[in-house]
């Protein structure tokens, strides 16, 4: 992941792009991919847009409580046609409790993912190994993520999706909180059920070989952005399987081996 590419757009254009993404998010109205208007947008530029969006939301009172890695598994890369992982930020306003009803009318075309989340108890910065991630992990737990691309047709390229905060929309921590050394996270299986039918099946090793590798990747990207991962962060490692589209009336349950399960339902 290299963020030392040349900047192709000035700060004003970055701010305009961040506003476009924020407006699409607020009114749940899709927009064109940013690269249609800024074809030379680099990954570094895309993270500048994401940072501008983060600052705007913070100014409006949202609190960044953690981060997410995305596009870290082959099933996700194949589903989206993007083969490089990325990161996004999570705010308190995106969090929903397990067993809750999640509204969909304030999203464009939501999809659900089953993930393993890490809660840290030490700051992580720079280039770290998966062992260092595990040593800085207080506990791991299951999470559902509801992603919602702000782009028409849920179609994007790497630059556009990173600028769109990696499609972050809602997240639902749940299941059991367990010590990271109590289980081999590579062999934790997950069964994702959609309206009671099995929709996706996978195991933790889909995520860059080990979910902690995704957190190490994320810390490296944060470093390139001039940020660290503070102690007490909630960090999702990325979807283990392909994402499942949901509509009002649907229910989703993710059952994790030894880590419990999470159910949510969706309403208009």
Stretch touching ligand OOG by CB under 6 A, among 69-77, 173-181, 198-206, 227-235: 69-77
Stretch touching ligand OOG by CB under 6 A, among 11-19, 64-72, 91-99, 119-127: 64-72
Nearer to ligand OOG, 122 or 189 (CB): 189
- DSSP-assigned letters across all residues of 51-112: HHHHHHHHHTT--EEEEEEES-BHHHHHHHT--S-EEEEEEGGGB--TT-EEE-TTSSS-EE
Stretch touching ligand OOG by CB under 6 A, among 97-105, 161-169, 197-205, 227-235: 161-169
Question: Of these, 107, 229, 239, 262, which contacts ligand OOG (CB under 6 A)?
Answer: 239
The residue number with the shortest CB distance to Mg ion is: 145
- How many other CB atoms sit within 10 Å of the CB of residue 60? 11
Interface with ligand OOG includes 161 (CB under 6 A)?
yes
The per-residue b/e assignment along 123-158, b for 16 or more CB within 10 angstroms, e otherwise, is ebeeebebebbbebbeebbbbbbbbbbbbbebebbb
Question: Of these, 20, 76, 210, 255, which contacts ligand OOG (CB under 6 A)?
Answer: 76
Least separation in angstroms between residue 90's CB and Mg ion is: 10
Size of the residue set binding ligand OOG (CB under 6 A) = 16
Rounded Cα distance between 193 and 69, Å, is: 22
Question: Of these, 21, 73, 104, 145, which contacts Mg ion (CB under 5 A)?
Answer: 145
Nearer to Mg ion, 14 or 111 (CB): 111
Interface with Mg ion includes 222 (CB under 5 A)?
no
Query: First vs last Cα of the chain: how many Å apart?
Result: 39
């Amino acid at each position: 992941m290299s963020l030392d590419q040349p900047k192709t757009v000035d700060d004003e254009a970055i701010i305009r792009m961040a506003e476009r993404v924020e407006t699409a998010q607020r009114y749940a109205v899709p927009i064109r991919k940013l690269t249609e208007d800024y074809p030379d947008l680099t990954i570094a530029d895309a993270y500048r847009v994401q940072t501008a969006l983060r600052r705007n939301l913070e100014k409006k009172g949202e609190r960044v409580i953690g981060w997410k890695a995305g596009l870290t598994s082959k099933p996700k890369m194949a589903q989206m046609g993007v083969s490089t992982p990325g990161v996004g930020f999570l705010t308190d306003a995106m969090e929903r409790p397990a067993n809750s009803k999640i509204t969909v009318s304030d999203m464009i075309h939501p999809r659900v993912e089953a993930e393993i989340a890490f809660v840290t108890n030490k700051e992580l910065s720079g280039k770290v190994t998966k062992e260092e991630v595990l040593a800085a992990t207080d506990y791991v737990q299951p999470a559902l993520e509801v992603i919602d691309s702000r782009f028409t047709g849920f179609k994007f390229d790497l630059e556009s999706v990173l600028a769109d905060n990696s499609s972050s929309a809602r997240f639902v921590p749940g299941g059991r909180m367990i010590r990271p050394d109590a289980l081999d996270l590579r062999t934790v299986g997950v069964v994702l059920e959609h309206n009671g039918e099995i929709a996706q099946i996978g195991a933790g090793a889909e995520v860059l070989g080990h979910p902690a590798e995704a957190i190490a990747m994320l810390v490296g990207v944060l470093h390139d952005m001039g940020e660290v991962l503070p102690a007490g962060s909630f960090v999702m490692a990325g979807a283990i399987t392909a994402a499942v589209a949901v509509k009002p009336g649907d229910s989703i349950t993710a059952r994790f081996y030894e880590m419990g399960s999470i159910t949510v339902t969706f309403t208009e």
